[in-house]
Structure 1
């Protein structure tokens, strides 16, 4: 009778045989491939005391492909960036930080394609309680990193650590703003999502109010929207991946609550909650004549 070890050795031999069949006998196994194979075999085996936990295995698998990522892969997309204009008042800046819940905010000139700096909430806090401090936006601004979208995340992380700057503006080939990335975004590619006490609960992102009427958090991924509501709810721009981003791109601006825009599929996207910087909730009205219940 075959033992468990015999079965595991047989499985390993089968995998090596398949790999040789696909890649040829001359294919040299890489260290990355060997580690991945070992993790996969361990996941199928009985847990051993002192071995890697499932969380540690997942982190290790993430790390194996960490170097394949670029700044464009890990950044917050342009439509989700919360930034402030250079003309904002000090009181307006305080309100912006309170509403955004972030520790750093980019500052832009004429448009988001002209990011001229960033402001750290620590500097705002100091200026708030020190009347001798200059409270002008130019005095509070720091210089962020500007990195190309093609920069690898390993190099990006190294630059952030070396220059002690935790926020980078990702620019496209034309110099426009592609997105924003923080050091937390980079680290999350290894350890998974990091949530703190200020992060909002990611529940109730999509609710069916009645037949053919849905309401969605603007942060809802388009992929989930297509799977749940209608596969036609796509965006022409591949970089748009949220309901809020789709609504913004279709309208060309931030819609005020009550305003709506028509999607090519016939769905009408209505802004339910928004402020001067972003759309927060969207109501989706099905096309006329759509069958009841998606």
Structure 2
């Protein structure tokens, strides 16, 4: 009897699965809609649904879609003095850097930040001996295949080259993985917003990097100049002197713009709160 009940349970589960997936989705969009339905029916957890969507979307993306453009790459000059290299490494905060010789296009290796410390202990060492061979991939290389290569080769960075063999940018394993898990950052959207500005549960705002400055001015009652920059991401980058990285914060017009997500050498999302001084003045 117990065996019969188990057989019945198996059939019941199979029937539920067939009911869910039949007729099968004919497109990626339909498959993503099916995942949303599965979440609503509590067949999968919200976090699982988000990651599965990331995997599905990643299948249609290439290295060129995600890479940091060459103009925004942090590079080290093989002929630079040690102190200059050290300052650049500290300022940028990366764990590894492409190294060039002569021209920025001529990438000759990758330097691990921890290896740079070896020069401090043993100045007689040649920086070239510390470099690791660079990995080159075409812009068209699919992210799925690239992720497999990263894992198989135990590498974390690749230099992306264009169709003419010139350096187009770089991509890291973190960039690829963010396509899967990075979208979790977007889960607190409440509906759609044409302005790219969303109110969060704690009362702060999340602002898209490509949100228009005019929309930001209206939302926060400020008067940022609109003559030279169209987007808030461009304006903040100009104020800082470079594209801010995830975790960095910039204070502008009494607001604190904290970088929540940066991808492809640009800020995707800011979390915006009142700057501490401005908050104290408004509360006094």
User: TM class, shorter-chain normalised?
Assistant: 0.5 to 0.7
Look up the match of 1:112. 104
SS in 2 for 1:147: strand
Task: Note the 1:65-144 alignment, pairs <5 A.
Answer: 65-129=57-121, 131=122, 134=125, 136-144=126-134
- 2:35 is the alignment partner of 1:42: no
Relative distance call for 1:189 and 1:132 in structure 2 (3 A) is same
Look up the match of 2:177. 187
Tell me the number of residue pairs that the alignment of Structure 1 and Structure 2 aligns: 200
How far residue 167 of structure 1 moved from its aligned partner, in angstroms, is 0.7
SS in 1 for 2:104: coil
2:209 to 198, 211, 221: 221
Relative distance call for 1:148 and 1:60 in structure 2 (3 A) is same
Relative distance call for 1:53 and 1:226 in structure 2 (3 A) is farther
2:46 to 32, 41, 54: 54
How far residue 128 of structure 1 moved from its aligned partner, in angstroms, is 2.7
Q: Could you report, residue by residue, the CA deviation over 1:237-275 in whole angstroms, capped at 9, with x for unpaired residues?
A: xxxx95289x8xxxxxxxxxxxxxxxxxxxxxxx5554x
- 2:155 is the alignment partner of 1:159: no
More helix by percentage: 2
Alpha-carbon distance in structure 1 between the residues aligned to 2:40 and 2:93: 42
Alpha-carbon distance in structure 1 between the residues aligned to 2:96 and 2:105: 18
Relative distance call for 1:57 and 1:161 in structure 2 (3 A) is same
Look up the match of 2:166. 176
Alpha-carbon distance in structure 1 between the residues aligned to 2:81 and 2:183: 34
Alpha-carbon distance in structure 2 between the residues aligned to 1:194 and 1:121: 29
* Structure 2 stretches lacking a partner, 5+ long: 1-15, 186-207, 218-225, 245-249, 254-284
Relative distance call for 1:132 and 1:92 in structure 2 (3 A) is closer
SS in 1 for 2:164: coil
Alpha-carbon distance in structure 2 between the residues aligned to 1:194 and 1:89: 42
1:272, 1:282 within 8 Å by CA — same for their partners in 2? no
How far residue 115 of structure 1 moved from its aligned partner, in angstroms, is 1.7
Q: Could you report, residue by residue, the CA deviation over 1:69-112 in whole angstroms, capped at 9, with x for unpaired residues?
A: 10011111223211111211222222111111100011122332
Relative distance call for 1:147 and 1:36 in structure 2 (3 A) is same
1:77, 1:178 within 8 Å by CA — same for their partners in 2? yes
TM-score of the aligned structures, taking structure 2 as reference length: 0.57
RMSD: 3.9
TM-score of the aligned structures, taking structure 1 as reference length: 0.56
Alpha-carbon distance in structure 2 between the residues aligned to 1:179 and 1:102: 16
1:108, 1:117 within 8 Å by CA — same for their partners in 2? yes
1:84, 1:105 within 8 Å by CA — same for their partners in 2? yes
